[in-house]
Chain A
Amino acid sequence: MAIEQAEKALTPSEYITHHLTFNSQPVGDGSFWMLNYDSFIMSVLLGIVVMGLIWWVARSATAGVPSKGQAFVELIFSFVDDQVKNIFHGNRHSFIAPTALTVFLWVLAMNAMDFLPVDVMHHFVYAPLGLEHWRSVPTSDINTTFALALAVWFLMIFFSIKVKGFGGWIHELFYTPFGTKFWVLPLNFLFNLIEYVSKPLSHSLRLFGNMYAGEVIFLLLGMWAATGISGTIFGAILGAGWSIFHILIVALQAFIFMMLTVVYLSMAHESH
């Protein structure tokens, strides 16, 4: 199917639209009740693979001389644990640090799907499986990043109420950051409202924007490669260069997403 399409000489916008269309199927009535099977299946698969691998190593973790696999997992563990330790001052081992590890590894794995060459995957994997549209990168789906950010947002409110009590949380919404004078209370509330709205938006859109842009650049380079022999050569060279640079972005965005998660959850634990 995909091969036929390539032979049909797609227009650039058709090519890009084709690669940026989700495999969206209805699960109920209404426009909301659609499930992006590609995002969902890819992310769940990656979650199972990544956390399963870590679990497989952790299950037989020994306090003695570690195997190479265990040493590698411990390296990641210590990296995440150190970051959390610097930000969060409390019992991090019961929830925040494991959450940070999950976020970091899962987002890293999902971002890394950007390295799969889109056309090769379509021609040799997805099209033979009968999948007309299949996007490999779950984090270039706003639903995925927004789901993560919203989950963190709810955890933030949960921990705020758990630590300060419901009254304490409401009190904080109205009495910080500008003071307790009567006339600044609406201002305080407005400020906190903006903060509560902007946190999940910036959290999710930063990751989404980076991964989406990365994908689009790969698509543009792929398009250039279709224009002729020189386009193929330059497209390949620039594609390789962008891939190498993208390694940094993939890791950095996963790290930033983890750090913001930890920062937001730590802030929820602190009273102002």
Chain B
Amino acid sequence: MNINFTLIAQAIAFAVLIWFTVKFVWPPLLSAIETRQKEIADGLAAAQEGRSALDIAAKKSEATLTEAKQKASEIIGQAEKRGSQIVEEAKGNAKAEGDRILAGAKAEIDQEVNRAKEGLRSQVSALAIAGAEKILRKEIDAKAHSEMLSKLAAEL
């Protein structure tokens, strides 16, 4: 249990070991651990960022969806309105066309009636003249009385 040169030898060994640890052991371990800590912190921050981005995106998509729905219902409403408008227009057009056709037919009928009347009138007047000629062969001058007779025919 006496102090001897071992003391100095061990102190030198100790100093060398400390130097070795300070120089070669501690720095790589420290840098590895600190780098990993930083990476983990960055990863957590990125995850947080991603989560908030996801929230924002979800809100955005919801807003877009609502907008689209609104637009769609608007478009449907417009289409319905336009549809009924077209139907109304078609109805009006059809009625007008029908009326026009009806009016044309009526006019034609009137025309035919008038033409028949004309024909009948001329035939009646001819018949009357023929009858009267037969009856009044001598007294009646066709030329003298034709004015009177045409007046009569017009009155028919």
Contacts and interface: CB of A to CB of B under 8 A. Distances in A.
Contacts of B14: 102, 106, 147-148, 151
Nearest to B10: A147
Contacts of B32: 58, 61-63, 66, 70, 74
B25 A151 contact: no
A175 to B, nearest CB: 31
B8 A147 contact: yes
Interface stretch (B16-24, B50-58, B97-105): B16-24
B28 A143 contact: no
Interface stretch (B33-41, B83-91, B110-118): B33-41
Nearest to B14: A151
Given A32-B3, A35-B4, A36-B6, A97 B29 contact: no
B13 A47 contact: yes
B35 A32 contact: no
Given A74-B33, A151-B11, A146 B26 contact: no
Given A51-B21, A74-B33, A40 B7 contact: no
Interface residues of A, number: 48
Nearest to A52: B20
B116 to A, nearest CB: 114
A98 B22 contact: yes
A229 interface: no
Contact of A32 (B5, B25, B26): B5
Contact of B21 (A28, A36, A101): A101
Contact of A101 (B6, B25, B31): B25
A95 B21 CA distance: 9
A136 interface: no
A166 interface: no
Contacts of A151: 11, 14-15
A40 B28 contact: no
A103 B17 CA distance: 9
B26 A101 contact: yes
A78 B121 CA distance: 134
Nearest to B6: A143
Contacts of A40: 6, 9-10, 13
Given A73-B29, A99-B18, A106-B17, A34 B10 contact: no
27 contacts: A32-B3, A34-B4, A35-B4, A36-B4, A43-B10, A47-B17, A58-B24, A58-B25, A58-B26, A58-B28, A58-B29, A58-B32, A61-B28, A63-B39, A66-B36, A74-B29, A77-B33, A97-B26, A98-B26, A102-B14, A102-B17, A102-B20, A106-B14, A147-B8, A147-B14, A148-B14, A150-B11
